[in-house]
Chains A and B, each alone.
Chain A
């Protein structure tokens, strides 16, 4: 394993042992300094292979990376991409907040009240196996092709994952923390608000993070089949006019949005975990 001599972290590391096998921590540190080189090398190789391969196919089948990049710039400049991304994000956020609000409330209720838990159990255990997309068709029949069915679809996708995780969080509140609060004279409502809810927040955020992934998947189908705006619509439209480069742009934009939202959640979860270890 070659070590980059100019790297400060590697230079500070202890010298390799005589046995030949280095201490694992040291090897890890050395490897970390190599990571950016391999990353960028890997990406450059990929782009070169892509550019090379695209020479043998018509652009409608496999557009070159340069052409795709050009389309990306063009669709950003014309405001097209922003417009569609905004529509998608608006639907996802609205449905997500609705689903998460209902899901967290029901989860806290079911976690704390045995009767509610037992009454909810059969539905949670059945509907969590129903893919949200399956409800798209009846929602369109009932609510038309406007914003409402899409928002409700995302809310449904979010709801059950959030309920399950919230219940798991309430179950995992450390018993000693509850006992301590009770011993110090906290009333049941105080325990709920000051112990149970804060301890459950990391679980809730994890559930919401998973749900966000499902939401982004579900909205694409909803927009492909019944919408006139949104990245899913753009994707379907690009397919119809055989603009494969535009499809790539829409796919990458969806991925980037999913990534950004996920990172936000990770940050929130880390802050929450720091406060409630």
Chain B
């Protein structure tokens, strides 16, 4: 990251060493000061709680265990739906890549449904599958399937023709070609798709919990509206950000530890 491309950027490499940390710290400090200053201007702290009140709400929610419960509920829904959707998406993407018949048969649905967000299905999923966990898991899986399938298919399209020809020239059969050339070439793309899908899964689960649930971070945020507990909302929002960050990094770490040369960069 030492090479800079933008023309107006500082071109002296020595300036870049200790500076980032200081600017980071300053930038975060300014944020908290501004937050405090804005909240102090509100006559009713309930409308815009400052950092102090928010932190107090956080401590309270951590102590009575309700934050941990809501995190666990949201995370369980996300992971279950994400795992189900990833497996189905990978299978669908591979089938679409390996067989033209399946690709053309499935193509209209994939291309139509991927523009319909999982959120739009929440009322129908609730009606068909009930208010319980299965409707949320189904909607999260729905969101994941398309991101993973489309990316896996893109991976199929990106396999260099020379690689397939080389394998064929060396006498690989259809099955060997699939397991030793096509599948490994798609893994990286499938992982990218899963990483993208994770953001969609968070978005969808929060929406589902806002519309039809009695637990989870989305419910925590929407239910605090009835009590005007804005500080609890802030805690929920900040927790979601931290959770998304942690899950993204955990996903990278797992791919790094288990997938060897197929892992994702950074």
Interface of A with B (CB < 8 Å)?
A: 21, 24, 31, 34-35, 38-39, 41-43, 46, 61, 111-115, 118-123, 125-127, 129-138, 140-142, 170-173, 175, 178, 182, 188, 191-192, 195-196, 213-214, 216-218, 220-221, 224-225, 232, 235-236, 238-239, 244, 247, 250-252, 254-256, 258-259, 262
Determine the chain B residues whose CB is within 8 A of the CB of A216 once the complex forms. 115, 117
Whether A235 and B105, one on each chain, are in contact in the complex, defined by CB atoms closer than 8 angstroms, is no
Complex alpha-carbon distance, A30 and B208, angstroms: 45
Interface residues of B in 203-252 (CB under 8 A from A): 203-204, 206-207, 210-211, 217-218, 221-222, 224-225, 228, 230, 233-234, 236-238, 240-245, 248
A263 to chain B, nearest CB (A): 10
Whether B5 and A173, one on each chain, are in contact in the complex, defined by CB atoms closer than 8 angstroms, is yes
B179 within 8 A of A: no
Whether A218 and B123, one on each chain, are in contact in the complex, defined by CB atoms closer than 8 angstroms, is no
Q: Which of A38, A170, A218 contacts B6 (CB 8 A)?
A: A170
B9 within 8 A of A: yes
Q: Do A220 and B104 form a contact, CB below 8 Å, given A115-B23, A131-B203?
A: no
B19 to chain A, nearest CB (A): 7
Q: Do A113 and B8 form a contact, CB below 8 Å, given A136-B210, A236-B123, A244-B127?
A: yes
Whether B9 and A133, one on each chain, are in contact in the complex, defined by CB atoms closer than 8 angstroms, is no
Whether A123 and B237, one on each chain, are in contact in the complex, defined by CB atoms closer than 8 angstroms, is no
Q: Which of B27, B108, B233, B245 contacts A129 (CB 8 A)?
A: B245
B7 within 8 A of A: yes
Complex alpha-carbon distance, A178 and B48, angstroms: 46
Q: Do A34 and B8 form a contact, CB below 8 Å, given A131-B240, A216-B117?
A: no
B230 to chain A, nearest CB (A): 6
Complex alpha-carbon distance, A231 and B29, angstroms: 42
Complex alpha-carbon distance, A235 and B124, angstroms: 9
Whether A133 and B225, one on each chain, are in contact in the complex, defined by CB atoms closer than 8 angstroms, is no
B116 within 8 A of A: yes
B92 to chain A, nearest CB (A): 14
Complex alpha-carbon distance, A2 and B214, angstroms: 56
Q: Which of A111, A142, A254 contacts B120 (CB 8 A)?
A: A254
Determine the chain B residues whose CB is within 8 A of the CB of A262 once the complex forms. 115
Q: Do A225 and B115 form a contact, CB below 8 Å, given A112-B8, A134-B236, A138-B233?
A: no
Q: Do A130 and B241 form a contact, CB below 8 Å, given A119-B23, A255-B112?
A: yes
Determine the chain B residues whose CB is within 8 A of the CB of A41 once the complex forms. 105
CB closest chain-A residue, reference B246: A129
Complex alpha-carbon distance, A255 and B261, angstroms: 38
- B111-143 Cβ-contact flags toward A at 8 Å (1 or 0): 011011111110110111000000000000000
Q: Do A38 and B7 form a contact, CB below 8 Å, given A225-B210, A239-B127, A244-B124?
A: no
CB closest chain-A residue, reference B19: A118
Determine the chain A residues whose CB is within 8 A of the CB of B48 once the complex forms. 142
Complex alpha-carbon distance, A196 and B4, angstroms: 13
Whether A178 and B7, one on each chain, are in contact in the complex, defined by CB atoms closer than 8 angstroms, is yes
B65 within 8 A of A: no
Q: What are 5 of the A-B contact pairs (CB < 8 Å)?
A: A133-B207, A137-B210, A138-B237, A170-B6, A255-B120
B161 within 8 A of A: yes
Whether B222 and A225, one on each chain, are in contact in the complex, defined by CB atoms closer than 8 angstroms, is yes
B116, B126, B222, B236, most chain A CB atoms within 10 A: B116
CB closest chain-A residue, reference B1: A171
B185 to chain A, nearest CB (A): 15
Interface of B with A (CB < 8 Å)?
A: 4-10, 16, 19-20, 23-24, 26-28, 31, 47-48, 100-101, 104-109, 112-113, 115-121, 123-124, 126-128, 161, 164, 168, 199-200, 202-204, 206-207, 210-211, 217-218, 221-222, 224-225, 228, 230, 233-234, 236-238, 240-245, 248
Whether B119 and A142, one on each chain, are in contact in the complex, defined by CB atoms closer than 8 angstroms, is no
| B contact patch SS | helix
Q: Which of A34, A127, A175 contacts B104 (CB 8 A)?
A: A34
Q: Which of A39, A141, A236 contacts B228 (CB 8 A)?
A: A141
Whether B203 and A132, one on each chain, are in contact in the complex, defined by CB atoms closer than 8 angstroms, is yes
Determine the chain A residues whose CB is within 8 A of the CB of B108 once the complex forms. 39, 42-43
Whether A38 and B104, one on each chain, are in contact in the complex, defined by CB atoms closer than 8 angstroms, is yes
Q: Do A224 and B10 form a contact, CB below 8 Å, given A35-B104, A133-B203, A247-B124?
A: no
Whether B104 and A129, one on each chain, are in contact in the complex, defined by CB atoms closer than 8 angstroms, is no
Determine the chain A residues whose CB is within 8 A of the CB of B234 once the complex forms. 138
CB closest chain-A residue, reference B22: A118
Whether B105 and A42, one on each chain, are in contact in the complex, defined by CB atoms closer than 8 angstroms, is yes
Q: Which of A21, A221, A258 contacts B207 (CB 8 A)?
A: A221
A46 to chain B, nearest CB (A): 7
A194 to chain B, nearest CB (A): 11
Known: A137-B222, A138-B237, A141-B225; 4 extra A-B contacts, CB below 8 A, are A130-B238, A131-B207, A131-B244, A251-B120
